[in-house]
């Protein structure tokens, strides 16, 4: 099953072109045969034209080069109608949502718009005139909502990434029910410009993926302040880092766990906690009561009025155009008074104050993503009550301004998937994802409904503010003549890396063979190197030993990250022999029969 990481590697190495990926995507859509997954698809020829443009511009360095993406149909994509799963509401946007525009600028290819619970109201995925997307993992279960089509598209392997939205759990519950990852960003981190609101004060655009790494790669592209969004915040996305050695995780005490009689769900949560303890986490029971009360506020309080605002004109003009369950819920939003709203806001502020010291002592809170998994038959028979139950552990999250990552935890003997969600205060998206990643890597569950498994390579240590990561390409590589000098300056090996395919390498003149790496606009290639961490004092000492035309600059790696590194001025090396074709200096030396000691650095 293709992930973002595997597709990027294939596209950048030339093993597969973005155009070939697009053709395979449309073949999978046809073979999968679920007409309720997408509300609208872009013509294959149009997406192929976009892929060809990327290939012609040699855009391999882009962080999402040629990655196919599906978009929930309450998020604008220019050229496709936005329906919010309500034909009478549909309109034709003239511009992409900011989040979509950022994906396109990063090299992503938008495939189409996915189905959803109408006006993003629901956690079940059955409230749409466009049908019910099939749950790919277990077809008798609901697909989860409201981002039903997006979750199904990722679980089916149609696309490795899909955008959802999350107001009350719509980016997390479908992830659990289809055995994939759901990342719910901090409020205001991803701009909402171009999003049809559900509850404008609580909405966020979310990400479905097969791995935590893929979800975070997309968040890094989409995140960042946007002046056109009044709810945008000055938040940044830190890079993924390993889980702390002994994270403190808040867990539900046994007396406050609610699974509505689902013994498999209870066992899955207990098993997940045992796995976390084995990974070194310290589990601390917390009082869940204020979280549960906050969850009840979402539909008992005035926030339903925000949903009513969106559909008010349509409800007045043509109420039959709205799905009957959605209409029953939304019409209630016209009833609360201003006094009701303020009373609820006062209580919410008190609840936020109550949970703040609890969360301050934790690296993350760990809850079941949903308390159980319901069948399609059961939900159609009891649509509102069972939907409400699915929000037991999700409804409070945005009200309390938390971010979270939902990951698979277990597959029950019945075949039903269960998951857990890691939560923390806004701004800690990467830290929470890092803990979720460690759990997912240890759990070793299959990707969605496939028989393949995620590859979670070791992460480099978290950045040290007293040190700098520096990429070296030549004689300072491990085992080569100047590596001892690098270590004497306090250097620590971090990782072997490859650059983005935008560099060339020349052989410099001198007694010690050295390469000169320079960035180019055309004809670039991926080059291998190593990243070493040095104290700033050591960086200064190292710079004193580096001769012209080399100097310290910024190097873009294959994963899109930027590190410091030694580069050469192009004009100064124009006359030097070009050795780019070897792919790296060590390969050049091996080919040139120069004796080297290729022993890896000590841990």
Average pLDDT, rounded, for the chain:
93
In this prediction the pTM is 0.80
* Element of type H or E holding 356: helix 338-360
- pLDDT score at 493: 84
* Element of type H or E holding 207: strand 204-209
| Rounded Cα–Cα distance for residues 88 and 244 (Å) | 50
| Rounded Cα–Cα distance for residues 230 and 461 (Å) | 36
Residue 87 lies in a domain: yes
* DSSP helix/strand/coil, 204: strand
Cα 442 from chain centroid (whole Å): 19
Specify the CATH number for the domain of residue 229. 3.90.1300.10
Tell me: do 418 and 507 sit in the same domain.
Answer: no
Q: Taking a C-beta distance cutoff of 8 angstroms, is the pair 133, 80 a contact?
A: no
Does the pLDDT at position 136 exceed 50? yes
User: Long-range contact list for 541-545, CB < 8 A, 24+ apart?
Assistant: 541/489, 542/470, 542/485, 542/486, 542/489, 545/485
Of 189, 270, 294, the C-alpha closest to 231 is 189
- Give ∠ CA 271-274-279 in degrees, rounded to 5: 130
Measured N-to-C along each axis, helices 263-278 and 429-443 cross at an angle, to the nearest 10 degrees, of: 100
User: How much is the average pLDDT of 491-512?
Assistant: 88
Residue 601 lies in a domain: no
Tell me: do 252 and 139 sit in the same domain.
Answer: yes
Of 422, 284, 456, 457, the C-alpha closest to 357 is 284
| Count of domains forming the chain | 2
End-to-end CA gap in the chain:
33
- pLDDT score at 427: 94
User: How much is the average pLDDT of 314-343?
Assistant: 91
Q: 523-565, pLDDT tens digit by residue?
A: 899 999 999 989 999 999 998 888 888 888 899 998 888 899 9
Tell me: do 433 and 474 sit in the same domain.
Answer: no
What single-letter DSSP state applies at residue 108? Answer: -
β pairing state of 68-72 and 109-114: parallel
Tell me: do 243 and 98 sit in the same domain.
Answer: yes
- pLDDT score at 462: 66
**φ, ψ for residue 237 (rounded to 5)?**
-105, 110
Q: 93-119, pLDDT tens digit by residue?
A: 999 999 999 999 999 999 999 999 999
Tell me: do 360 and 213 sit in the same domain.
Answer: yes
Q: Mark which of 443, 478, 509 sits at the end of a domain.
A: 443
> In the structure, what pLDDT confidence band is assigned to residue 463 with cuts at 50, 70 and 90?
low
Cα 319 from chain centroid (whole Å): 37
Q: Which domain holds residue 492?
A: 467-591
Tokens of 346: 């006062």
> In the structure, what pLDDT confidence band is assigned to residue 571 with cuts at 50, 70 and 90?
confident
Residue 602 lies in a domain: no
> In the structure, what pLDDT confidence band is assigned to residue 299 with cuts at 50, 70 and 90?
confident
Of 49, 436, 470, 475, the C-alpha closest to 213 is 436
Tell me: do 297 and 171 sit in the same domain.
Answer: yes
**φ, ψ for residue 218 (rounded to 5)?**
-75, -40
User: How much is the average pLDDT of 375-386?
Assistant: 97
Q: Which of 146, 148, 206, 478 is catalytic?
A: 146
The percent of residues in the chain predicted with pLDDT above 90, rounded, is 79
Tell me: do 132 and 194 sit in the same domain.
Answer: yes
Of 125, 157, 127, the C-alpha closest to 141 is 125
Q: Mark which of 375, 408, 443 sits at the end of a domain.
A: 443
Does the pLDDT at position 157 exceed 80? yes
Is 170 a residue of the active site? yes
Tell me: do 389 and 514 sit in the same domain.
Answer: no
Residue 451 lies in a domain: no
Specify the CATH number for the domain of residue 565. 3.10.490.10
- pLDDT score at 460: 72
Tell me: do 322 and 471 sit in the same domain.
Answer: no
Q: Which of 170, 186, 206, 498 is catalytic?
A: 170
Q: 187-242, pLDDT tens digit by residue?
A: 999 999 999 999 999 999 999 999 999 999 999 999 999 999 999 999 989 888 88
Residue 458 lies in a domain: no
Tell me: do 482 and 537 sit in the same domain.
Answer: yes
User: How much is the average pLDDT of 153-166?
Assistant: 98
Does the pLDDT at position 293 exceed 50? yes
Q: 399-453, pLDDT tens digit by residue?
A: 999 999 999 999 999 999 999 999 999 999 999 999 999 999 999 999 999 989 9
Radius of gyration of the chain (CA): 26
**φ, ψ for residue 317 (rounded to 5)?**
-85, -45
Of 487, 511, 494, the C-alpha closest to 557 is 494
| Rounded Cα–Cα distance for residues 55 and 19 (Å) | 8
What are 70's strand-pairing partners?
Answer: 112, 162
Is 561 a residue of the active site? no
Q: DSSP H helical segments within 301-337, as ranges?
A: 304-317, 324-331
Residue 453 lies in a domain: no
Of 208, 185, 181, 237, the C-alpha closest to 72 is 208
Tell me: do 292 and 357 sit in the same domain.
Answer: yes
Torsion over CA: 389, 409, 249, 147 (sign): negative
Residue 598 lies in a domain: no
Q: Mark which of 403, 428, 443 sits at the end of a domain.
A: 443
Residue 495 lies in a domain: yes
Tell me: do 438 and 512 sit in the same domain.
Answer: no
Q: Taking a C-beta distance cutoff of 8 angstroms, is the pair 193, 415 a contact?
A: no
């Amino acid at each position: 099953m293709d992930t973002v990481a595997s597709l990027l590697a294939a596209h950048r190495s030339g093993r597969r072109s973005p155009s070939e990926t697009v053709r395979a995507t449309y073949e999978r859509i046809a073979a999968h045969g679920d007409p309720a997954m997408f509300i609208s698809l872009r013509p294959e020829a149009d997406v192929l034209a976009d892929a060809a443009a990327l290939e012609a511009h040699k855009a391999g360095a882009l962080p999402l080069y040629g990655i196919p993406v599906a978009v929930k149909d309450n998020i604008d994509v220019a050229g496709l109608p936005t329906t919010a799963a309500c034909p009478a509401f549909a309109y034709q946007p003239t511009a992409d949502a900011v989040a979509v525009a950022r994906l396109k600028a990063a090299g992503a290819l938008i495939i189409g718009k996915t189905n959803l619970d109408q006006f993003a109201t629901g956690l079940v995925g059955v409230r749409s005139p466009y049908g019910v997307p099939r749950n790919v993992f277990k077809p008798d279960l609901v697909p989860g909502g409201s981002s039903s089509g997006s979750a199904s598209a990722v679980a089916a392997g149609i696309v490795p990434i899909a955008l959802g939205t999350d107001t009350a759990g719509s980016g997390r519950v479908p992830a659990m029910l289809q055995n994939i990852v759901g990342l719910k960003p901090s409020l205001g981190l991803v701009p909402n410009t171009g999003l049809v609101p559900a509850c404008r004060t609580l909405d966020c655009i979310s990400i479905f993926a097969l791995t935590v790494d893929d979800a975070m790669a997309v968040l890094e592209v989409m995140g960042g302040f946007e002046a056109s969004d009044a709810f945008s915040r000055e938040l940044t996305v830190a890079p993924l880092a390993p889980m702390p050695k002994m994270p403190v995780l808040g867990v539900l005490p046994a007396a406050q766990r609610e699974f509505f009689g689902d013994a498999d769900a209870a066992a899955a949560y207990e098993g997940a906690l045992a796995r976390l303890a084995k990974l070194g986490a310290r589990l601390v029971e917390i009082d869940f009561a204020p979280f549960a009360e906050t969850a009840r506020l979402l539909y008992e309080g005035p926030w339903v009025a925000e949903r009513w605002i969106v559909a008010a004109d349509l409800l007045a003009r043509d109420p039959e155009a709205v799905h009957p369950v959605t209409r029953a819920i939304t019409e209630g939003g016209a009833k609360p008074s201003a006094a009701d709203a303020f009373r609820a806001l006062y209580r919410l502020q008190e609840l936020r104050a109550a949970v703040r010291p609890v969360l301050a002592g934790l690296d993350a809170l760990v809850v079941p993503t949903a308390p159980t998994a319901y069948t399609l038959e059961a939900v159609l028979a009891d649509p509102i009550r069972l939907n409400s139950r699915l929000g037991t552990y999700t409804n409070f999250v945005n009200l309390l301004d938390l971010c979270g990552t939902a990951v698979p935890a277990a597959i029950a003997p019945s075949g039903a998937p269960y998951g857990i969600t890691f939560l923390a205060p806004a701004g800690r998206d990467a830290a929470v994802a890092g803990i979720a990643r460690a759990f997912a890597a240890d759990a070793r569950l299959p990707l969605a409904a496939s028989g393949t498994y995620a590859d979670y390579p070791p992460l480099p240590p978290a950045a040290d503010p007293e040190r700098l990561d520096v990429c070296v390409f030549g004689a300072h590589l491990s085992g080569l003549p100047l590596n001892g000098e690098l270590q004497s300056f306090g250097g620590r090996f971090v990782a072997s890396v490859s650059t983005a395919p935008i560099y060339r390498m020349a052989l410099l003149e001198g007694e010690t063979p050295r390469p000169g790496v320079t960035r180019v606009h055309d004809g670039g290639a991926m080059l291998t190197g190593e990243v070493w961490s040095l104290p700033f004092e050591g960086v200064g000492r190292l710079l004193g030993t580096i001769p012209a035309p080399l100097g310290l600059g910024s190097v873009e790696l294959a994963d899109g990250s930027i590190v410091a590194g030694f580069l050469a001025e192009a004009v100064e090396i124009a006359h030097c022999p070009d050795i780019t074709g070897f792919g790296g200096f060590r390969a050049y030396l091996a080919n040139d029969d120069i004796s080297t000691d290729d022993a890896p650095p000590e841990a």
